[in-house]
């Protein structure tokens, strides 16, 4: 609003030059000072927090939160009740272990390691005991973990004698100047630690051996001619991973993932799990663990892309996952679990199902398998 100026100070008044100059200076100073005070008053840091001016994600902030998955893919709704119960029990046990760690004040890293270790020890999941066979009839395991607070990470591929790869991944993260070890180097690093070792056949189960035999009979590998994307058997052969993400009481985030790989995979094949930013990622904003077709997940640097959509695109965790699954990946490619800095959880997939579970300090507890549950 332009201030009213008395007639004697207006242009054309012979007596107004000096007084008009003084008045003009007064008006300018007033406008400047008034503007500065207005800006200062509107500084968000000085505005008292209330439900009207705090983002919904902050209003819903949880003390702790955890989510886990046991793999995504073509999961038949006709699964027999006994087998279905094995999956529900495995998810429940792992969730309870991680939840107790967080309830008792443990760190996000500790909760993730404990949860993934439980899944690795359960033979119904493709990680640790129960891992699938390679083309050579062996087991080669991968794992990774990332601490969102420090952005330190540890990753391994091609393990053959480490009972719980997620424990060794943590040791890489916390006691090595490096991030990623592979094959013989990963085994040599394990030799320098106290992690439990086993014979390679410890990881075998009758079910995995039958899957391996069927795969060999059909020469079912991704790089061979004749592989069909919509073949249910082939889909099941390449999907299988476990993972967990967590937010602790201090607001720190962590993500961890472990897998036995893909049935009948060829020599030296590495999937998305140990690729930091591919199948596993955590920073101070979000923690992500992926499962699905590793090659596709790696092509999109999926876990890191979800984080970038949140940080640089101002998307919520839920929306960022939707973009990744619906716009970057093809139907049937993958599933993701994530938790953000406020404890919001998202578990989404573009497959028929994903073994998944979550819990948080607000009392919510979810255990699901199929997409439409």
Domain 63-370 CATH (choose: 3.40.50.1110, 3.40.50.1100, 3.30.450.20, 3.60.20.30): 3.60.20.30
Using DSSP bridges, classify how beta strands 345-349 and 152-159 pair: parallel, antiparallel or unpaired. Answer: unpaired
- The CB density around residue 92, as the number of other CB atoms within 10 Å, is 13
If 0-12 CB within 10 Å is exposed, 13-18 middle and 19+ buried, where does residue 10 land? exposed
Tell me the C-alpha to C-alpha distance, in Å, between residue 282 and each of 81, 148, 172, 256, 308: 36, 4, 16, 9, 11
Q: What is the DSSP letter of 72?
A: E
Question: To which H or E segment does residue 170 belong?
Answer: helix 165-175
- What is the pLDDT tens value at each position of the chain, 373 positions in all? 434 434 433 444 444 444 444 544 554 454 444 554 444 444 444 444 444 444 545 657 999 999 999 999 878 888 999 999 999 999 999 999 999 999 999 999 999 999 999 999 999 999 999 999 999 889 999 999 999 999 999 999 999 999 999 999 999 999 999 999 999 999 999 999 999 999 999 999 999 988 888 888 876 444 333 223 334 444 444 467 999 999 999 999 999 999 998 887 877 889 999 999 999 999 999 999 999 999 999 999 999 999 999 999 999 999 999 999 999 999 999 999 999 999 999 999 999 999 999 999 999 999 999 988 7
From residue 94, how far is each of 26, 70, 75, 161, 356 by CA, in Å?
71, 10, 20, 23, 10
The number of beta carbons lying within 10 Å of the beta carbon of residue 336 is 32
* Domain locations along the chain: 7-43, 63-370
Question: Cα(first)–Cα(last) distance of the chain, in Å?
Answer: 60
DSSP-derived 3-state class of residue 46? helix
Q: Can you give the pLDDT at residue 22?
A: 53
pLDDT at res. 57: 54
- According to the model, what pLDDT value does residue 75 have? 87
Q: Which residue has the tokens 């929306």?
A: 319
Q: What is the DSSP string of 220-271?
A: --TTSTT--TT-HHHHHHH---EEEEEE-TTS-EEEEEEE---TTBPTT---
**Active site residues per annotation:** 241
């Amino acid at each position: 609003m332009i201030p009213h100026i008395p007639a004697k100070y207006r242009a054309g008044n012979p007596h107004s030059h000096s007084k008009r100059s003084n008045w003009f200076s007064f008006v300018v100073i007033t406008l400047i000072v008034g503007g500065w005070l207005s800006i200062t008053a509107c500084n968000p840091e000085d505005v008292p927090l209330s439900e009207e001016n705090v983002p919904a994600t902050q209003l819903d902030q949880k003390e702790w939160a955890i989510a886990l998955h046991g793999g995504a893919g073509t999961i038949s709704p006709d699964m027999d009740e006994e087998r279905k119960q094995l999956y529900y029990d495995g998810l429940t046990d792992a969730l309870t272990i991680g939840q107790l760690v967080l309830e008792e004040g443990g760190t996000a890293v500790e909760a993730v390691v404990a949860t993934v270790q439980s899944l690795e020890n359960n033979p119904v999941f493709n990680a640790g005991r129960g891992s699938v066979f390679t083309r050579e009839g062996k087991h080669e395991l991968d794992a990774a973990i990332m601490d969102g607070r420090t952005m330190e990470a540890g990753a391994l591929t091609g393990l053959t004698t480490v009972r719980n790869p997620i424990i060794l991944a943590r040791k890489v993260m916390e006691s090595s100047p490096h991030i990623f070890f592979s094959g013989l180097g990963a085994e040599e690093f394990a030799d320098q630690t106290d992690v439990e070792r086993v014979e390679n056949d410890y990881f075998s189960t009758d079910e995995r051996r039958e899957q391996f035999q069927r795969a060999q009979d059909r020469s079912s590998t991704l790089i061979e001619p004749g592989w069909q994307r919509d073949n249910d058997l082939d889909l099941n052969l390449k999907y299988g991973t476990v993972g967990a993400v967590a937010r602790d009481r201090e607001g720190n985030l962590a993500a961890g993932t472990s897998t036995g790989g893909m049935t009948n995979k060829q020599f030296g094949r590495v999937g998305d799990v140990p690729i930091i930013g591919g199948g596993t990622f955590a920073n101070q904003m979000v923690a992500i663990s992926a499962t699905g077709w590793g090659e596709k997940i790696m092509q999109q640097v999926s876990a890191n892309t979800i984080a970038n959509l949140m940080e640089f695109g101002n998307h919520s965790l839920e929306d960022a996952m939707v973009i990744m699954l619906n716009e970057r990946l093809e139907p049937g490619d993958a599933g993701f679990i994530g938790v953000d800095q406020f404890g919001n959880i998202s578990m989404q997939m573009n497959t028929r199902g994903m073994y998944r579970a979550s819990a948080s300090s607000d009392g919510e507890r979810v255990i699901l398998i199929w997409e439409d549950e």
